[in-house]
Amino acid sequence: MASEGLKVIIAGAGIGGLVLALMLEKASIDYIVLERASEFKPLGSSISLTAQVLRVFDQLGILEEVQAVSLPMSSLTYFKQDLTLMASWDATIATDRYGYTSLMFPRPDLMQVLLRQVPPHKIAWGKRVLSTMQNTNGVMVRCASGETFDGDILVGADGAYSAVRQSMYKNLEMKGIHVPPTDTAPLHFDQYCILGVTSDISEEYPVLKENDTQLNVVIADKKPYNVYCIPLKGGRVGWAICGKLLQEQFHDQENFRFSDYGAEAIEEIRDKIDDIPVPIGGSIGQLMDKTEDISRIMLEDRYAGRTVLIGDACHKLIPAGGQGAIQTILDCVCLANLLKELPSTEPADITAVFKRYYDIRAPHAKKAVAASSQLSNLMSSKGLLADMMRGFILKSPRWIINKSFDSIYGGRPILNYLEQIDLKGTVKDSSKPATLIDKPSKPSMSAAAL
């Protein structure tokens, strides 16, 4: 089996890169993770993980650690700006239907759990990818530090601004392989998300001392954004402000960099939402005052040769759907299973694996991207018609909600090469087995670009 001599280079030590590294570690596949940051930075807000990925975390033996830094989610609740209740869904039903209780926790805490699973010498910090080269013998990554790294396969897990993706497309064009304009066009941003996690404020807000949590969404009145508020472990609160861009000049990638979208832009938005109340008490402005590090994300909505992409590098999701980290982890499950079955490191076999990976994951990723966008538009749209649509959907009968959730959470794939665990919950696993048994279809280059 070629996987025994396989060397994988993973670009990016985010959630996707670290989860894939852990899975390859368990598969005894050699790898190195290249991370552009010089050290771990505790950025980001809250993350929700559902049965879709908690089953594989259970199989990997890290579920208890994840539970230790999280709170179980009891409900998903929507409010009007005056905190009048619009709708509330009981999230505990997921435990019976899918076998695992949905968990909420700060992104940095999950990152710390994953970092403890990956041997330190397998992560190279301060290695920003400049370019990549590949041929029939392997792939080489050149970093800004002047160092080069060689392997058989390169996995781009380096986010929406993926240097691996950019280099991959450049190499294709140099070989005369046409890449559709829709794939190479600059990212077009029409939404933003400002988010963070407060310090421990449980003395000021006693509700934070409870042993479960709720995902609270406040629909702002006549304003193009909504406020998200989630109590977290340790008396902290994860919060987010998501909505439409206020400044047109940020729409295109060439006019935007994270460093440009700084304090002035945040204050402009804050002036418009500072006094919006949140369900735990107080206002969103007060939560921002209790937050040391505030992150900004611009939102927008692929394989070639020996290079493949996962997560935000190929399918950026809007946070409103809560599927970003989940879809990235599902990418990792599928790819790790296929790499374990890789017959050889010959180009033909690698291409077959990547095509199979595409066949399995593309439909689900596309569906998640579309659903996240639709949900965001539904929740941020204003006016009487938008209010009527929200009311209809949020107050749908439970059986309709369950049917919709079953199509999303029914798939709970696990790793084929580890000891199998029993399927929990009353809903069957709808995931497609990630094996090389079935002959993959041949997607066009356009189709391969999710």
Please determine, for residue 335, whether its predicted confidence score (pLDDT) is greater than 80.
yes
69, with CB counted inside 10 A (0-12, 13-18, 19+), is middle
Q: Which of 126-130, 209-213, 256-260 is predicted least confidently?
A: 256-260
**Total Cβ atoms within 10 A of residue 90:** 11
Asked if residue 333 has pLDDT above 90, the reply is yes
| Predicted pLDDT of residue 443 | 40
Q: What CATH number is attached to the domain comprising 59?
A: 3.50.50.60
Rounded to whole angstroms, what are the CA distances from 438 to 91, 238, 412?
36, 43, 20
135 vs 214 pLDDT, higher one: 214
Nearest CA among 194, 201, 203 for reference residue 236: 201
What 3-state class would DSSP assign to 126? coil
Tell me the pTM.
Answer: 0.85
Rounded to whole angstroms, how far apart are CA atoms 429 and 98? 9
- Per mean pLDDT, which range of 66-75, 145-154, 246-255, 389-398 is the poorest? 246-255
**Which 3 state secondary structure label does DSSP give 60?**
helix
**Can you give the pLDDT at residue 91?**
87
Determine, yes or no, domain membership for 392.
Answer: yes
- Reduced to 3 states (helix: H, G, I; strand: E, B; else coil), residue 30 is strand
**pLDDT given at position 368:** 74
Question: What does the alpha-carbon distance between residue 156 and residue 307 come to, in Å, rounded to a whole number?
Answer: 7
The pLDDT score that the predictor gives to residue 209 is 92
Highest mean pLDDT among 106-115, 254-263, 315-324, 428-437: 106-115
Residue spans of beta strands (DSSP E) within 284-443:
294-299, 303-304, 307-309
Residue 292 lies in a domain: no
What does the pLDDT average to over 197-214? 93
Q: Are the C-beta atoms of 212 and 73 separated by less than 8 Å?
A: yes
Mean pLDDT (whole number) for 317-328: 73
Which residue range(s) make up the domain with 425? 2-186+300-448
d(CA 352, CA 441): 10
Span of 84-98, 102-116, 366-380 with lowest mean pLDDT: 366-380
Residue type, 215: L
Looking at residue 184, what is its pLDDT? 59
Where does the pLDDT of residue 231 fall: very low under 50, low under 70, confident under 90, or very high at 90 and above?
Answer: very high
Distances (CA, A) of 211 to 45, 104, 155, 363: 19, 12, 38, 37
Q: Would you place residue 234 in the very low, low, confident or very high pLDDT band (cuts 50, 70, 90)?
A: very high
Most confident of 92-96, 138-142, 171-175, 434-438: 138-142
Determine the pLDDT at residue 260: 35
CA distances from 103 to 8, 120, 291, 439 (A): 31, 27, 22, 37
pLDDT tens figures, 269-288: 677 777 889 999 999 999 99
d(CA 148, CA 150): 7
What pLDDT is stored for residue 159 in this prediction? 82
Q: Which of 63-72, 257-266, 373-382 has the lowest mean pLDDT?
A: 257-266
- Asked whether the predicted pLDDT for residue 348 surpasses 50, the reply is yes
- Alpha-carbon distance of 303 to 314, in angstroms, equals 9
Residue 364 confidence (pLDDT): 79
pLDDT at 336: 96
How does residue 300 score in pLDDT terms, banded at 50, 70 and 90?
Answer: very low
The CA distance from 86 to 413, in Å, is 34
Residues 6+ apart with CB under 8 A from 242: 191, 192, 193, 194, 225, 226, 228, 299, 318, 319, 320, 376, 380
Between 188 and 117, the higher pLDDT residue: 117
> Is there a contact between 414 and 55 (Cβ–Cβ < 8 Å)?
yes
How much is the pLDDT for 92? 87
pLDDT of residue 146: 93
Identify whether 160 is part of a domain: yes
pLDDT class for 103, splitting at 50, 70, 90? very high
Mention every residue, 6+ apart, whose C-beta is less than 8 A from residue 167. Answer: 129, 131, 132
pLDDT at 305 over 80: no
124 is a domain residue:
yes
The predicted structure's pLDDT at residue 403:
84
| Alpha-carbon distance values, 373 to 44, 144, 192, 319, 378 (Å) | 20, 35, 13, 9, 9
CB 123: neighbour CB atoms within 10 A?
20
Between CA 133 and CA 307 the distance in angstroms is 10
Strand partners, 240: 195, 228
Strand 7-11: give its sheet, edge to edge: 123-125, 30-35, 7-11, 153-156, 307-309, 303-304
Report the pLDDT averaged over residues 86-91.
86
How many domains does one find in the chain? 1
Taking only the tens place, the pLDDT of each residue in 62-87 is 999 999 999 999 998 989 899 999 88
User: For residue 170, is it within any domain?
Assistant: yes
- Judged on CB neighbours under 10 Å (0-12, 13-18, 19+), 4 is exposed
Q: Considering the domain boundaries, does residue 291 fall inside one? A: no
pLDDT of residue 410: 84
Inside any domain, residue 271: no
Give pLDDT, residue 233.
94
- 294-299 and 7-11 strand pairing: unpaired
Q: Which helix (H) or strand (E) holds 369?
A: helix 347-380
What's the rounded Cα separation, in Å, for the pair 178 and 169? 9
Count Cβ atoms within 10 A of the Cβ of residue 137 and give its class: 0-12 exposed, 13-18 middle, 19 or more buried. Answer: exposed
Q: What is the pLDDT of residue 28?
A: 95
Query: pLDDT for 182-193, tens place per residue?
Result: 565 555 445 667
Average pLDDT over the chain reads 82
Helix axis angle, 107-117 relative to 15-26, nearest 10°? Answer: 30
The yes-or-no verdict on residue 341 having pLDDT over 70 is: yes
Given a contact cutoff of 8 angstroms between Cβ atoms, the answer to whether 156 and 12 are in contact is yes
Residue 262 lies in a domain: no
Residue 253 makes CB contacts below 8 A (sequence gap 6+) with 186, 187, 188, 189
Other Cβ atoms less than 10 A from the Cβ of 252: the count is: 13
| Helices and strands (H and E) in the chain: how many | 14, 18
pLDDT of residue 386: 73
Give 399 or 260, the one with higher predicted confidence. Answer: 399
